[in-house]
Structure 1
Amino acid sequence: MRLFLREHAFLILIQVLQAIAAPILFWLDGYRGMGVSLYAIFMSFVLLTIYLIYRYFSRKEFYLRLLEPMKTIDESLETIGSAPISEALQQLLVSQYRLYLEAIQKAEERQDEHLLFMDRWVHQMKTPLSVIELTAQNLDEPDSSSIREETDRMKNGLNTVLYMARLRTISEDFLIKQVTLSKLIHEVNTENKRFYIRHEVYPQLKEEKPGIRVETDEKWIFFLLTQIIHNAVKYSTGISKQIILSLYEQSGEAVLEVKDFGVGIPLVDQKRVFNKFYTGDNGRTYRESTGMGLYLVKEVAERLEHRVELDSTPDKGTTVRIIFSKTQNLTAV
């Protein structure tokens, strides 16, 4: 109603001015019969009222639609009345919706092309890295270890780029199945054996309950654990020689915990460590920090419907937990 009155306020004002001006003109012209003038004014307001009531109820749906925000984009295609202005607005919304879909389709095509390019580029880069790594094995120390260290670093960076590019279409890449966490940890440790040796930080597995099994995507959870371990080792180098990987159940949920005894995270940074590209105080000290590791961990965990928790004490270390819900914990099944 308020919108309707605002739209017709000028019409009502003109009618009032006309009702005032007409008797004044008659009076100045010498006509003194006020009864007829008042009757004419009354009839004009009656006709105006009837017109406004008819116009409001004939376009009530239209006005209500304008006042209520759309909850979904598809609501723009719903019919909003049969009045000419309603039909014109409906055609405009349909045209806008069509342009919107075309723009979205073009954006998705560009993103798909970018993803395809990144995927091919990463795989093409891995081939020369493998050749370099094989060549380095024939070199004497310490040259061989130095070259392999750099190739490992480049491989890790390429994997991060690849997983970051795939993040938008991650749900299409999921393969949910039963995963034994202790076996997964062993595979991650084997994959990162040289990384541990190079930084002189070694993992210790504490399994409170053997054979904990969860429902998740093995490839992506492997990536998450690798990212967390790399952070733990990187920030423990030169401070501690051990990180602890723990498996246990808590209130029916399965928990995979990575604990280090390194530099820890300052309190002011702890709420932002999962933000994209945020490196914080430690990132200024450790120049290799990209601010993407924990961001990817959080994003992927949420898509997998796992929870991620982080506790840290400066100068004492950091603990990161991946928590699998009761329905994802298959240990007792």
Structure 2
Amino acid sequence: MREPNKEKHGLTLRHFLRDRSLFLISFTGSFALVLLVIFLDMLRQRNYTGWDSLLYMLILVLAGLLTGLFWDYLRQKAFYRSVNSVLSDPKPDMEAITRIQRGITHEQQVLLQILQDQHMDFMSKLTQYRKQQDFHHDFTNQWVHQMKTPVSVIDLLIQQSKELQPAPQVQDLLQSIREENERITYGLEMMLHTARLDKFELDLHVKQLDLLQLVRRVVNRYKKACIRWSIYPKVTGDEQTVATDEKWLSFVLNQLVTNALKYSRDKPGNKQLLIAVEQAGQGCRLRVIDEGIGIAEQDQPRVFDPFFTGENGRLYPESTGMGLYLAKQICSRLGHRLELQSVPGEGTTVTIHFAANSLHRMPFLEDR
């Protein structure tokens, strides 16, 4: 399939003359034939006309032709200028077609009318699509919030049941229910943040945040899981303050810690989960280092692609391929840089780089 030509060509006098080249050639040929007929007729009648008269006739005809072409170009110059202004725009918006002035020739008017009709149809479909998207977004948020209530009730019932000191078999059953309930909670949180990502700037509250304290709060949420799977978390580093959004960054850290636990839990023996906050130039960085199964080398370039699970996705069917994608998207919009290194069989290191001026590098702030 041929790719469309993306090179933009403006409309100039050269293009104007080139588009009328067939007319100019046919006119010149016809006029040459007329001169030939006149010349042959004069030879037959032995009535000679000087070459200066013929040249004068040629100059008059060419002057009339050039005057007509010049007038035709002047009346279309405004149309050409409006088209060139659209072509010269490096990022033309959807309203660019409305900046083109009314065509002069019938062909221009018809073509412009077709483009305007298509633009109106496109805008109508776009408005309808946005309404559907807003409806889906609102429905998703409402549904997730409704599902959080029974999930919280299930967790509360499990806690109350353990206080009754049930039999060991019942305790194992309650533990399994808790694990499944935690998976539901994780899925709901991911679905909610995926829906909110489309309107990221409307759900943003940037402030100076103590990074080390936030890390400790996140790690404390997974103490029971760490004990269950013999994973020993360790938080190191000095106090570092960064400008970011606490809720969104907490979600990113939850994703990184959840991945570290999920891909470390089945390795035999004791494992360590290290989260280090370090000074890096004028900014700082946060590293999440696990001793899990790692990521295959051929999968590492695609770990931030949506829905990509790679070889580990075959070992862990609950993997969605959305965790690292969302983490990458959120960090990018917050002005942070997310990197990943992994050695298969040894572990994975995910690093978040916080620049000193990260707030000013947020894409939606640059567009304002």
TM-score w.r.t. structure 2 length?
0.78
| 1:163-199 Cα deviation digits (max 9, x unpaired) | 1111110111001112222221222122223333343
Q: Which of these residues, 249, 258, 274, is aligned with residue 221 of structure 1? A: 249
Equivalent-residue separation in structure 1 for 2:30 and 2:225 (angstroms): 89
Q: Which of these residues, 49, 64, 68, is aligned with residue 66 of structure 2? A: 49
Tell me what 2:14 maps to: 2
1:235 to 2:263 alignment: yes
1:204 aligns to what SS in structure 2? strand
Aligned residues: 326
CA contact (8 A) 2:79 2:100 kept: no
CA contact (8 A) 1:77 1:90 kept: no
Tell me what 1:187 maps to: 217
Q: Which of these residues, 104, 123, 148, is aligned with residue 145 of structure 2? A: 123
Query: One-letter code of the match for 1:70?
Result: D
Query: One-letter code of the match for 1:18?
Result: S
Q: Greater CA deviation, 155-164 or 236-245?
A: 236-245
1:261 aligns to what SS in structure 2? coil
Tell me what 2:8 maps to: none
**Percent identical across equivalent pairs?**
35
Q: Greater CA deviation, 79-88 or 126-135?
A: 79-88
Greater RCO (Cα-Cα under 8 Å, separation 6 or more): 1
Q: Greater CA deviation, 214-223 or 119-128?
A: 119-128
1:175 to 2:205 alignment: yes
Query: One-letter code of the match for 1:9?
Result: S
CA contact (8 A) 1:136 1:148 kept: yes
Structure 2: tracts of 5 or more residues without a match: 1-12, 360-368
Tell me what 2:357 maps to: 327
Q: Which of these residues, 296, 300, 303, is aligned with residue 333 of structure 2? A: 303
Q: Greater CA deviation, 148-157 or 185-194?
A: 185-194
Equivalent-residue separation in structure 2 for 1:13 and 1:24 (angstroms): 16
Q: Greater CA deviation, 89-98 or 1-10?
A: 89-98
Q: In angstroms, what is the RMSD of aligned CA positions?
A: 2.9
1:16 to 2:28 alignment: yes
Query: One-letter code of the match for 2:68?
Result: Y
Q: Greater CA deviation, 73-82 or 260-269?
A: 73-82
| 1:133-180 Cα deviation digits (max 9, x unpaired) | 333442621100001100100110111111111111011100111222
Q: Which of these residues, 294, 297, 315, is aligned with residue 264 of structure 1? A: 294
Query: One-letter code of the match for 1:14?
Result: S
Q: Greater CA deviation, 94-103 or 44-53?
A: 94-103
Query: One-letter code of the match for 1:117?
Result: F
Q: Greater CA deviation, 150-159 or 249-258?
A: 249-258
| 1:291-318 Cα deviation digits (max 9, x unpaired) | 1111100100111111112122222211
Equivalent-residue separation in structure 1 for 2:121 and 2:208 (angstroms): 44
Equivalent-residue separation in structure 2 for 1:271 and 1:75 (angstroms): 37
Structure 1: tracts of 5 or more residues without a match: none
Are the structure 2 counterparts of residues 21 and 9 from structure 1 closer, same or farther at C-alpha, using a change threshold of 3 Å? Answer: same
1:79-228 superposed matches below 5 A: 80=101, 83=104, 99-137=121-159, 138=161, 140-207=170-237, 209=238, 211-228=239-256
Equivalent-residue separation in structure 2 for 1:170 and 1:202 (angstroms): 34
TM-score w.r.t. structure 1 length?
0.86
| 1:78-124 Cα deviation digits (max 9, x unpaired) | 46589567888777766665555444332222111110011111112
Tell me what 1:279 maps to: 309
Instruction: Report deviation, 1:69.
Output: 4.1
Query: One-letter code of the match for 1:13?
Result: I
